[in-house]
Structure 1
Amino acid sequence: MPVLPQLEGSTFNADLRDRHIIHDNAAHDRNGNPEKWRYEIWFFNEDRVIYAIHGGPMADRKNFQAATYQCIRFGELWQVNWQEETGTICSLVLDIPNQRLSTLLGFSKRHWRTENEAAHGDKRNAEDFARWRELAKIESSQADRILLSEQAEILEDSRGVGDLEPIDLSWQTL
């Protein structure tokens, strides 16, 4: 696919297209003890991300989403943003030279605190997908959010699918 107009002239193809990253977020459990939450993300193309969550409260989740990419500094810093069917807003900044990620996630409070297991599963499974869409409806206000900011060390940085599954670009996203 051609690069989107806002990415024309950027280093998107060299920096992100088909890049596959595995990282551990430095997080804390419910008791405040440090722990690592493993994530895997594939910057599939200029408007899709494919990812899996392997650790933490949202572990055992596989998803893909339409995403926006914004270059902060060519060859060095990129911001990637998307919204999930659950209503969760996701933003990450990839620091290429330092091999780090900084993330901001905006969960509904009830989704994060008491209904996080409902977000487990694979978007390709119709039952999981339908359940996720219901999570977006559980709060009465957009102000009922938990903002989770994390930093991660990149453990693996490669090109291609890795252990994730490719998608058909016709599949539904937000």
Structure 2
Amino acid sequence: MPVHPSLEGSTFDVDLRDRHLIYDYAAQDENGKPETWRYEMWFENEDRINYAIHGGPMAGRINFQAADYQCIRPGELWQCNWLEETGTICSLVYDIPRRKLTTLLGFSKGHWEKAADAHGDKRNPEDFDRWRGIAKLGIQTDRHMLNEQADILEDFRGPGDLKPVDKSWPTL
């Protein structure tokens, strides 16, 4: 998937390539009680997003996807979008100087209502098949929309504890 504007001449290499973020959402549980949802995102390259979820209803999910990157303001704002096997639509805006992520997630009915079934690692065929199965629950308009902002706790280069992805591995 392309970088917009094109990778040539963009600030992608400086701003995002190989950048690894660990961040927290200040969220609420189903009873409205405050809780922290920790996520980890690695902008591995211009073709992939690589991430792990450590907190909240999706804790225990490890995934990678083809990603579409769009530069809003070089050196400051980038948008990254992808579609998951569960049918979930993901969009994030990374505000580099303010160390903030703003996200919009359109969870599929299956992903939101059967969150435990969305846990696992995409590299495990049983997890991957289960994810594809829960994507079939509901219809396209059965979505749970979630808007959140996260504070970045760590910002470094490299994979950290995430495993690199071979570009030949299929994604949506």
**Could you say which TM-score interval applies, normalised by the shorter chain?**
over 0.9
Shift of 1:29: 0.3
Match of 1:122 in 2: 121
- 1:111 CA drift (Å): 2.6
Partner of 2:74: 74
CA RMSD of aligned residues (A): 1.5
Map 1:10-159; keep pairs closer than 5 Å: 10-112=10-112, 114-139=113-138, 141-159=139-157
Structure 2 Cα separation of the partners of residues 136 and 101 of structure 1: 26
- Structure 1 gaps of 5+ residues are none
Give me the whole-angstrom Cα distance separating, in 1, the residues matched to 2:4 and 2:27.
34
The normalised TM-score by structure 2 is 0.95
- Taking the aligned partners of 2:110 and 2:157, their CA distance within structure 1 comes to 36
**Cα deviation, residue 5, structure 1:** 6.6
- Partner amino acid for 1:152? A
Secondary structure at 1:40 match in 2: strand
Asked if structure 1 preserves the Cα contact closer than 8 Å seen for 2:86 and 2:110, the reply is no
- TM-superposed deviation, 1:7: 2.8
Identity %: 71
- Equivalents in 2 of 1:153, 1:128: separation in Å? 29
Distance 2:157 2:132 in 1: 31
Report the Cα distance in structure 1 between the residues aligned to 2:49 and 2:141, rounded to whole angstroms: 26
Distance change >3 Å, CA 93–CA 143, structure 1 → 2: same
Bigger CA drift: 25-34 or 124-133?
25-34
Matched residue, 2:164:
166
Question: After the TM superposition, which parts of structure 1 deviate over 4 Å for at least 4 consecutive aligned residues?
Answer: none
Tell me how many residue pairs correspond in the alignment. 171
Q: Distance in 1 between matches of 2:147 and 2:95?
A: 15
Gap runs ≥5 in structure 2: none
- Structure 1 residues 36 and 13, CA, compared in 2 at 3 Å: closer, same or farther? same
Instruction: Name the CA distance, whole Å, in 1 between partners of 2:33 and 2:4.
Output: 43
Q: For residues 110 and 162 of structure 1, what CA distance do their matches in structure 2 show?
A: 30
Shift of 1:110: 4.2
Q: What's the CA shift for 1:8?
A: 2.3
Cα deviation 1:56-105 (Å, max 9, x = unaligned): 00000100000000000000000000000000000000000000000010
